[in-house]
Amino acid sequence: MLGLDRNCTEVQIRAAYRMLSKQHHPDVNNGSRDAVAQTQALNSAYEILSDAERRESYDSELAEAEKSVRSKVSTKDRNITEEIHLRLDEFFRGTTRDVHINDPGNPNGREVYELVVPPATAPGTRFRLPRDDGGFVAIRVRVLPHFQFKVRGTDLRCDLKISFRVAAQGGEQMIKDVFGSMLRVKIPARVARGEIIRITGEGLPRARGGRGDLLVRVMYQPEVKITRRAS
C-alpha cells in the first residue's frame, strides 16, 4: 500500500505515509469516496508497519502466501495432458496400461504409473493420475480406428452391402458386431440406397450407463439392363 520494499526502515515508512496521506487526503480531493477509502487503507497499513510485532507477523503471513503461490505455480507446471487410443473391445472389457514419464525436471528420475480403464468405459472419458511430487497426468481415452466401424460419440456406423433383390423384397442379413459375433439386421422392402437402419443398444458404452446405437448404412447396386430399341 505504501509502495515500499519489505526491508524498508521505520523512517522510510513514516515518510511514505506522510507523503501519501497528504496526496490522498479527502480535503484536497473534494471529499471523494476513493480518497476516503485510500486514506483508510493508508492508516491501516501504517498501524501495522509502525508496530514491530504486528509488522513481523504481517511479513510472516506474506511470506507464507508467496510460498503457497509459488507452490501452486510449480504444481501447475507439472500437469501433463495425454491421449490413449483403445480397441473397441477394450471399452467393454477394460484394460490396464503403464504410463511412463521421462521428465528431465524431475530429480527422482523416470516415473511409472498404472492407468486402469474399467469395463464399460465411454469414449472420451478422462482419467487423472496424481504424480509423486505434485501435479497430475490427465489421460483421455479415444477409439483406435477400426476397419469396419466408424465412431460418432458412442454410436457406431458401418456399411452393409446387399443385392438389389433383397433391397426390393426385404429380408434379413447378418453382420459382425464389435466382438466378432453375428448380428441380425432386418431389411425393409424397397429400402433406399444409403438408408440408415438403427439397431438400438449395439454401440459403445455411455458415460451414464447403457450403450449407444449401431447405425447400418444399406448399400447396393441397382439392376441395370440395356436393350436395343425396336425399329
Q: What is the pLDDT of residue 103?
A: 86
CA distance 5 to 12: 10
Output the CA–CA distances (angstroms, integers) from residue 91 to 45, 120, 152, 196, in the order listed: 60, 6, 15, 25
| Tens of pLDDT, residues 60-119 | 765 665 555 544 545 667 899 999 999 999 999 999 999 999 888 777 788 999 999 999
Q: At residue 28, does pLDDT exceed 50?
A: yes
CA distance 131 to 213: 37
Q: For the chain, what is the mean pLDDT?
A: 82
What values do phi and psi take at 76, rounded to 5? -65, -40
* CB distance 175 to 187 below 8 Å: no
Residues 159-174 have a mean pLDDT of: 94
The residue type found at 222 is P
Q: What is the pLDDT of residue 73?
A: 46
What values do phi and psi take at 206, rounded to 5? -100, 155
The mean-pLDDT minimum among 40-44, 70-74, 170-174 falls in 70-74
Q: What is the pLDDT of residue 78?
A: 84
* CB distance 64 to 72 below 8 Å: no
Confidence grade of residue 189 (pLDDT, cut at 50, 70, 90)? very high
Rg, the chain, Cα only: 35
- Reported as type and span, the H/E element at residue 137 is strand 136-143
Q: How far is CA 228 from the centre of its chain?
A: 65
What values do phi and psi take at 63, rounded to 5? -65, -40
Count of alpha carbons within 13 Å of 45, Cβ hemisphere only?
A: 19
Q: What is the pLDDT of residue 42?
A: 54
Higher pLDDT, 113 or 19: 113
